[in-house]
Amino acid sequence: MDMQVVLPEEALPAKLTLNPELRMTDDEYFEFCQLNRDVRFERTAEGEIIIVPPAGYESSYQSGDIFGQLRNWAKRDGRGKASDASAEFILPTGAALSPDAAWLSNQQLSQLSKKQRTKFPPVAPEFVIEVMSPSDRLPAAKKKMQEWIRGGVELAWLVHGDAQTVYIYRPGGQEAEQKTGIAKLAAEGPVAGFELDLTDIWAGL
């Protein structure tokens, strides 16, 4: 399936609604993304393709800091692996999403073939972190967090740097827990032992 997309930056974020009868398979969706390497895509559970605008420099710095902390902890801990925003996961719901940082257990990884690991793996990471960027709107960001949980993620954090607030999502349908102005945040469940230092993230650039 050869399909390339070019849109002006001011048109982003944008949705591509395809003919439902021609919905791409997971492999076709991966190939479509490879043909458009300069554009970042995500897919909703309903099959809509979302064109995601690039992050601003400050939010990129914040997400890089967060990924670095998670990666360093994961290496010390040894129970799983961390990935950054370039990774995309295909959830059981059909949604294909990219978090700013994610942690996947070695047990989950062992169930994936080598080929699956080189593409968008059909698995829900146990833990994800998203960082608000200038183009994000809070209601849409919260909806994405709920999609992560609906897809099987056990713990999800939404970091809003300008508001110095973290929204914590867990399975069970309850409202997100909100923490504002904290210097550190301790994880739980699958990533118990990880602690995120928010000092530099709140300070920004």
Q: How would you write the pLDDT of the chain (205 residues) with one tens digit per residue?
A: 455 555 444 444 556 655 556 688 999 999 999 999 888 999 999 888 999 888 889 999 999 999 999 999 999 999 999 999 999 999 999 999 999 999 999 999 999 999 999 999 999 999 999 999 888 899 999 999 999 999 999 999 999 999 999 999 999 977 899 999 999 999 999 999 999 999 999 998 8
DSSP 38-75: TSEEEE-TTSPEEEEPPPPHHHHHHHHHHHHHHHHHHH
pLDDT score, position 136: 86
Cα separation, 7 vs 21, whole angstroms: 24
Cα separation, 145 vs 121, whole angstroms: 19
Q: Is the dihedral of CA 26, 32, 38, 41 positive or negative?
A: negative
